[in-house]
Amino acid sequence: MSLLQRVVGQRGSLFRVCGARSLAALKTTYRPQSTRAEESAAHGAAARPFDEIPGPKGLPLIGTAWDYTPFGRFPLKTNMRDSFRERRKTYGSIYREKLGPMDLVVISDPKEIEKVFRNEGRYPERLPLMSMKIYRELKKMPVGLVNQCRNGEEWQRVRSSVQKDMMRPKTVGAYASLQDDVSRDLVDVIRALTEKEESGGQVHNFTNYVYRWALESISVVVLDKRLGCMTLEDLEPGSDAQLMIDGVNDFFNAFVKLELSAVGLYKYISTPTWRKFEKGIDQWHTVAAKLLNEKLAKSAAEDGKPSESDFLQSLLSRNDVTFEEAMLTAVELLFGGIDTTGNTLMFNLFCLAKNPEAQKKLYQEIMEVISAGQPVDDKMLNKMHYLRAVVKETFRVYPTAPNNLRILDRDIVLSGYVVPAKLEGQVSNGSCLQLADESSAMRAGVIKADLECKSHPAARCKHPNQNQHVSLELVPLEKADAKSVWVSDSQPTKILMATDVISSHPEYYPEPEVFKPERWLRTRDDESSGVQPFTHLPFGYGPRMCIGRRFAEQELFLGLIRIVQNFHVGWSGEDMKQVNRMIQSPDRDSFVFSERA
Ligand code: HEM
């Protein structure tokens, strides 16, 4: 239960949150708020306050943000993950860091990560993608699945509609042969490229073709249509495929710049990058809307019942999402399915190129399960244990999404420290919110962020006593006669789970620097591989885990099968490194493909 619901009295016309007590006194009376947080209850009495979590000091106002600029020690683009490793060594598996107004608790202990996920509740909350969110607000569009972060019930309504078609193995498996066709086309493209370039099999700028493959692979599901991206020929100018491909690069380049910009000027004025972003995404929406409408018209003309494998019809037939929401979801799935899966395929190919023994074993498995020319189906995929192990091991050493984040609606004790929940709730006009003792204790050091008032954007928060942190006044500047307002902490504590640190730690993965798919294989039929839980979560966890996981895995399996079946994959030159483009991306992309005999 939110502490803001504890309204106990009247105090003039202010919205007031108060509860001044000494920390020492509060510590002794601490009780956890939620019965679900049983662990916390066990440790609660001994838990140490939030302010005592160790961490780098940082500068006034900006905190440690400087470290992540191009001039700092951990530039966001290339080195951010090194900060997690270095700070773990200095402070341990929990530390607190302030990046400007953002209060971050970074954890890298699998048991604590499990605890966070077990306490995330029915509506897990992440941070939204700000540029997308602003775009949609400006265009008065629905918020969408990825960005629906604050209104949990709304998120769940859309999520549960889409989930039925995205997460069920049988439904996903039904698309295997269509997606296999796309992977075979990728093989033809590679063959044509190696012949055309006459470069001894060297293919440069391979990411470009892999993104096309990923877009085409997800289009056959979402749009029920081949876009025609898998060709070396020039696409017709103005064709759907050309518009989408043009849009992808422009959009991603602008999107990454906006999301990673330190100042975020685009939030206030229309910068050139914002305009590029807007143009790219407008273009995508126009093409997607056209294709979806064509698809709906076709289905209406056929007048049949929605089939299991008709993704869009099936989504719309449920009546629990509007047409606009279905369309936006389709666009999100198309977007979400390109660079994520594309980059992951690149990392897998690189790992195989650098580890010829693993590549040989994978080739042998492919030859055992699939005969030449035979189409691949989901049953065959289920037999390919080494292939699955290769993909897992690649995620371990080259994670595409190396960390995850949650904002909790309940207090939690992590590694012996109290980490407070977000502060949110309905406040009656003129009432005084009395913080319960335990909540005050937990919030010591936390009630410092501005409170946003949703219903009264002009309402401002005053901090009469910043040092003691326990007294807040929210003064409504408009509509002072309103009965109540909804207030929420604009900077709730964010818990960042640095899973990437765990997967490279010898305590959890012996010889972590060695690429060893075998570590994922069962040692005996009835035994698991011995990998500890919550040390490897490439798609996240819980009700908000990646909704595209099954499709992504299926596409990766098919892509790898077809490429390795046809070519020996090699690499020349400097090793591939990962750079941060919101997700991890390859910094170079030249492979050497040699046709197998
Ligand atoms: C290898 C490829 C992929 C990786 C590594 C990946 C990873 C992730 C991760 C880590 C999350 C956050 C999960 C959490 O908070 O617990 C996520 C969310 C999401 N992913 Fe993926 N993803 C991949 C492919 C895809 C594909 C192919 C699609 C679409 C077809 C997709 C659509 C989404 C969406 C819509 C969400 C937000 C779900 C929600 O908030 O309810 N992803 N993904």
Q: Which of 257, 400, 253, 277 is nearest to 340 (CA)?
A: 400
DSSP state of 125: B
Cα separation values, 2 from 313, 356, 419, 420, 433, Å: 40, 55, 15, 11, 11
Question: Can you tell me which atom of ligand 1 is nearest the CA of 395?
Answer: 5
Look at the chain and count its residues: 597
Cα separation values, 510 from 54, 110, 532, Å: 28, 16, 12
pLDDT, tens digit, for every residue of 56-115?
A: 998 988 889 899 888 999 988 888 889 999 999 999 999 999 888 788 999 999 999 999
Q: Which of 564, 573, 580, 597 is nearest to 190 (CA)?
A: 564
DSSP state of 64: T
Q: Report the mean per-residue pLDDT for the chain.
A: 80
- Are residues 315 and 161 in contact, defined by beta-carbon separation less than 8 angstroms? yes
- pLDDT surpassing 70 at residue 307: no
Tokens of 60: 């006034």
Place of tokens 């039925």: 164
- Are residues 176 and 381 in contact, defined by beta-carbon separation less than 8 angstroms? yes
* H or E element, residue 38: helix 38-44
Q: Which of 235, 259, 258 is nearest to 246 (CA)?
A: 235
Higher model confidence: residue 14 or residue 429? 429
Tokens of 94: 């929990």
Residue nearest to atom 7 of ligand 1 (CA): 539
Residue nearest to atom 40 of ligand 1 (CA): 146
Beta strands in 47-168 (DSSP E): 94-99, 102-107
Poorest-pLDDT segment among 167-171, 387-391, 531-535: 167-171
What pLDDT does 300 receive? 76
Q: How far is the CA of 548 from the centre of ligand 1 (A)?
A: 5
Number of alpha carbons in the 13 Å side-chain half-sphere of residue 280: 21
What pLDDT does 246 receive? 77
- pLDDT surpassing 80 at residue 361: yes
3-class secondary-structure state, position 412 = strand
Q: How far is the CA of 590 from the centre of ligand 1 (A)?
A: 27
Please, which residues have CB within 8 angstroms of residue 120's CB and are 6 or more apart in sequence?
406, 408, 542, 543, 544
Q: How far is the CA of 146 from the centre of ligand 1 (A)?
A: 9
Q: How far is the CA of 333 from the centre of ligand 1 (A)?
A: 9
pLDDT, tens digit, for every residue of 120-173?
A: 999 999 988 889 889 988 988 888 888 887 778 889 998 998 888 888 898 899
Q: Annotation-wise, does 461 bind a ligand? A: no
CA distance 419 to 494: 9
Please, which residues have CB within 8 angstroms of residue 33's CB and are 6 or more apart in sequence?
1, 3, 410, 411, 421, 436, 438, 439
- Are residues 408 and 421 in contact, defined by beta-carbon separation less than 8 angstroms? yes
- pLDDT surpassing 90 at residue 188: yes
Q: Return the amino acid letter for 259.
A: E
Q: List 253's β-bridge partners, or say none.
A: none
* pLDDT classification of 314: cutoffs 50, 70, 90: confident
What pLDDT does 559 receive? 98
Among 340, 503, 557, which residue has the most ligand 1 atoms within 8 Å of its CB, making it the best to mutate? Answer: 340
pLDDT, tens digit, for every residue of 404-413?
A: 999 998 889 9
Residue nearest to atom 28 of ligand 1 (CA): 548
CA distance 245 to 98: 39
Q: How far is the CA of 389 from the centre of ligand 1 (A)?
A: 20
- pLDDT surpassing 80 at residue 2: no
Q: Which of 588, 573, 551, 593 is nearest to 178 (CA)?
A: 551
How many contiguous H segments (helices) and E segments (strands) does the chain have?
20, 19
Q: List 106's β-bridge partners, or say none.
A: 95, 496
Tokens of 81: 């993950």
Backbone angles phi, psi at 53, to 5 degrees: -60, 130
Backbone angles phi, psi at 19, to 5 degrees: 160, 55
- pLDDT surpassing 60 at residue 541: yes
Q: Is the ipTM of this complex over 0.85?
A: yes
Among 346, 544, 546, 584, which residue has the most ligand 1 atoms within 8 Å of its CB, making it the best to mutate? Answer: 546
CA distance 535 to 500: 9
Poorest-pLDDT segment among 108-122, 245-259, 264-278, 472-486: 472-486
Percent helix, percent strand, percent coil in the chain, to nearest 5: 45, 15, 40
Residues having CB closer than 6 A to ligand 1 are: 126, 145-146, 159, 218, 332-333, 336-337, 340-341, 344, 400-401, 404, 538-541, 544-548, 551-552
DSSP state of 338: T
* H or E element, residue 321: none
Cα radius of gyration (the chain) = 26
What pLDDT does 414 receive? 97
Question: Can you tell me which atom of ligand 1 is nearest the CA of 542?
Answer: 16
Cα–chain center distance at 401: 7
Q: Return the amino acid letter for 446.
A: V
- b or e along 270-305 (b: 16 or more beta carbons within 10 Å of the residue's beta carbon)? ebebbebbbebbebbbebbbebbeebbeebeeeeee
Percent of the chain with pLDDT over 70: 78
Cα separation values, 333 from 35, 217, 544, Å: 36, 11, 15
What pLDDT does 315 receive? 79
CA distance 538 to 119: 20
* H or E element, residue 282: helix 272-302
The DSSP string of 206-274 is: HHHHHHHHHHHHHHHHHTSS----S-SSPPPTT-HHHHHHHHHHHHHHHHHHHHH-SS-GGGTS--HHH
Q: How far is the CA of 141 from the centre of ligand 1 (A)?
A: 21
Cα separation values, 162 from 77, 137, 289, 311, 537, Å: 33, 22, 18, 9, 22
What pLDDT does 499 receive? 94
